[in-house]
C-alpha cells in the first residue's frame, strides 16, 4: 500500500512535537510532515525525529508573514531577495533533517499574471539549482481558491505550465486530493492526467477538511487507486481531526493503521 505520512501541524495543535511524532509512530505511521518547522532548532528536531523513529518527508519553505496574510513569496515580484533568504533557511533545515522535499508556496497574486509567473519560474530555478546539491526536490502545489482566495497557483494545468518552464528535473507537483476535488472535480481523472509530474500526494476529507472517510473524498478508495497504480511515494494525511487523532483513524483500518488507545484531545 502507499506509504502514509502524518502531518504533525494539521493533526495536532497543542502537544510538543516529540509527543506528536511518538503518537503517530505508535499508531502505525512511519513518515511525518511538518509545515513550518522553523520555530524549533533543526538540531532539536533531528533528535526528536530520531527518538520517535519516523522519517520527515516534507516541509514548506517559510511563507513570509503568515499572521499578516502572506501565503508564500515565490511568485511575488519585487520580493526575490526575501524568497531566496527564506528558501536558504528551508534548505538548511531539509539538509539537516534529511528531508527530501520542500514545498515552495507561490503566494497571493500581487500583479499581472505573466509577471508573477516569470518571477515564480526564476525563483524556482534558483531553488532547484540550490536544492539539487542535496538531492532535494522542490514542489509546487495548487491551492483551492475557496480556502486561499487570490492564491497565484490554483489549477493543475497552470502548475504543469510552470514546471515545464522551470525545466529542472528536481521540480515537481505536490498533488493534494482535497484541493483537486474542489478545483478540478474528478480526482481520479486528474491524478491520471498529471501522474508524470507528481512527486508527493496529500489527502483530506471534503467538506470540512477532516478525515477522508466519506463525502467528496473517499480516502480508502484513493489509497486503493494509488496502490493499483503502483504509486511508490508518500501520502500526507493533512487533515484536521473531528475529535482526536486516534479516534479518527477508522478510515485506515483496512490498511493496518490503528491506534492502540485513544490519546489526548487535539
Per-10-residue mean pLDDT of the chain, 266 residues long, equals: 92 89 92 96 95 96 95 97 98 98 97 97 98 98 97 98 98 98 96 98 96 91 95 97 93 73 42
Domain that holds residue 196: 3-250
Let me know: does 205 contact 214? Beta carbons within 8 Å: yes
Residue 219 belongs to a domain: yes
Residue recorded with cell 532539536? 44
Q: Which candidate, 221, 152, 217, places its Cα nearest to that of 179? A: 217
Residue 185 belongs to a domain: yes
Residue 141 appears among annotated catalytic residues: yes
Residue 256 belongs to a domain: no
Residue 18: per-residue pLDDT: 85
Residue 14 belongs to a domain: yes
Residue 258 belongs to a domain: no
Residue 25: per-residue pLDDT: 92
Number of domains in the chain: 1
Catalytic residue among 184, 211, 238, 246: 238
CATH number at residue 172: 3.20.20.150
Residue 193 appears among annotated catalytic residues: no
Kindly give the residue spans of alpha helices, DSSP state H, lying in 133-248. Answer: 156-166, 177-184, 187-194, 219-229
Residue 266 belongs to a domain: no
Q: The pTM is what?
A: 0.95
Catalytic residue among 33, 141, 184, 211: 141
Residue 258: per-residue pLDDT: 61
Residue 264 belongs to a domain: no
Cα separation values, 252 from 16, 218, 224, Å = 25, 11, 11
Residue 260 belongs to a domain: no
Residue 254: per-residue pLDDT: 79
Residue 104: per-residue pLDDT: 98
Amino acid at each position: 500500500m502507499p506509504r502514509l505520512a502524518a502531518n504533525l501541524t494539521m493533526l495536532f495543535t497543542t502537544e510538543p512535537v516529540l509527543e506528536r511524532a511518538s503518537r503517530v509512530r505508535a499508531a502505525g505511521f512511519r513518515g511525518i510532515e511538518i509545515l513550518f518547522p522553523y520555530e524549533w532548532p533543526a538540531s532539536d528536531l533531528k533528535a526528536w525525529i530520531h527518538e520517535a523513529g519516523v522519517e520527515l518527508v516534507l516541509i514548506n519553505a517559510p511563507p513570509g508573514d503568515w499572521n499578516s496574510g502572506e501565503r508564500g513569496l515565490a511568485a511575488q515580484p519585487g520580493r526575490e531577495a526575501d524568497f531566496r533568504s527564506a528558501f536558504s533557511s528551508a534548505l538548511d533545515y531539509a539538509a539537516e533533517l534529511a528531508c527530501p522535499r520542500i514545498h515552495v508556496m507561490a503566494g497571493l497574486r500581487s500583479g499581472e499574471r505573466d509577471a508573477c509567473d516569470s518571477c515564480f519560474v526564476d525563483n524556482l530555478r534558483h531553488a532547484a539549482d540550490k536544492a539539487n546539491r542535496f538531492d532535494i526536490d522542490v514542489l509546487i502545489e495548487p491551492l483551492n481558491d475557496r480556502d486561499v482566495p487570490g492564491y497565484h497557483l490554483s489549477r493543475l494545468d497552470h502548475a504543469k505550465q510552470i514546471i515545464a518552464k522551470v525545466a529542472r528535473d528536481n521540480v515537481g507537483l505536490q498533488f493534494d486530493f482535497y484541493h483537486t476535488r474542489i478545483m478540478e472535480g474528478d480526482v481520479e481523472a486528474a491524478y491520471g492526467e498529471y501522474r508524470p509530474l507528481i512527486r508527493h500526494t496529500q489527502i483530506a476529507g471534503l467538506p470540512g477538511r477532516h478525515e477522508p472517510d466519506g463525502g467528496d473524498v473517499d480516502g480508502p478508495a484513493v489509497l486503493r487507486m494509488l496502490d493499483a497504480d503502483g504509486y511508490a511515494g508518500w501520502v500526507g494525511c493533512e487533515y484536521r481531526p473531528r475529535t482526536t487523532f486516534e479516534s479518527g483513524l477508522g478510515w485506515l483500518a483496512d490498511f493496518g493503521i490503528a491506534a492502540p488507545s485513544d490519546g489526548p484531545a487535539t
